[in-house]
Structure 1
Amino acid sequence: MPIRLKKLIGTFLLVALVIIYALVASIVAVAQLSESGPLVHFLFFLFSGLLWVLPAMGIIKWLILEPRPKG
């Protein structure tokens, strides 16, 4: 796969990940935390704010992998 195409795909994947993850985290927070206190809100958003990094790291790792030599 050409590197430029790979970077384009990776960019779209990262943007889509952030948008979808933010929407899902917000929906969960509104649906489940409406009666919770500020500490629970803080811990939820702290945890969910760091959790998106794991799939993003996978996408970035895929982006920086060198193509296998054909042989």
Structure 2
Amino acid sequence: MSVRVKKLIGTVLLVALVVIYALLATAIATARLAESGALVHLAYFLFTGLLWILPAMAIIKWMVGPPKSRS
């Protein structure tokens, strides 16, 4: 797979990851944390705000990896 195609696919995956993850994290927070205090909200959003980095790192690592040789 060429580098351009990998970067295009990776970019689309990253955008989709961020949008889906943000909607999911917000929906969970709305459903589960409605009655919680500010400290619980801070801890939840701090944790979920950093958690999306792990799959994003995997996508970026795949994107910038060397292309496989055809031989």
**What is the alpha-carbon root mean square deviation over aligned residues?**
0.7
Partner Cα distance (2:34, 2:13) in 1: 31
How do 1:6-45 residues align onto structure 2 when only pairs under 5 Å count? 6-45=6-45
Between 1 and 2, higher relative CO (CA 8 Å, sep ≥ 6) is seen in 2
Show the counterpart of 2:46. Answer: 46
Percent of residue pairs bearing the same amino acid type: 62
Structure 1: gaps of 5 or more residues: none
Segments of 4+ moved more than 4 angstroms: none
Structure 2: gaps of 5 or more residues: none
By how many angstroms is 1:5 displaced? 1.0
CA contact (8 A) 2:7 2:64 kept: no
User: Which residue identity does 1:36 align to in structure 2?
Assistant: S
Partner Cα distance (1:60, 1:40) in 2: 31
User: Normalising to structure 2: TM-score of the pair?
Assistant: 0.96
Count of matched residue pairs: 71
User: Which residue identity does 1:15 align to in structure 2?
Assistant: V
Structure 1 residue matching 2:35: 3-state secondary structure:
coil
User: Normalising to structure 1: TM-score of the pair?
Assistant: 0.96
User: Which residue identity does 1:65 align to in structure 2?
Assistant: G
Show the counterpart of 2:61. Answer: 61
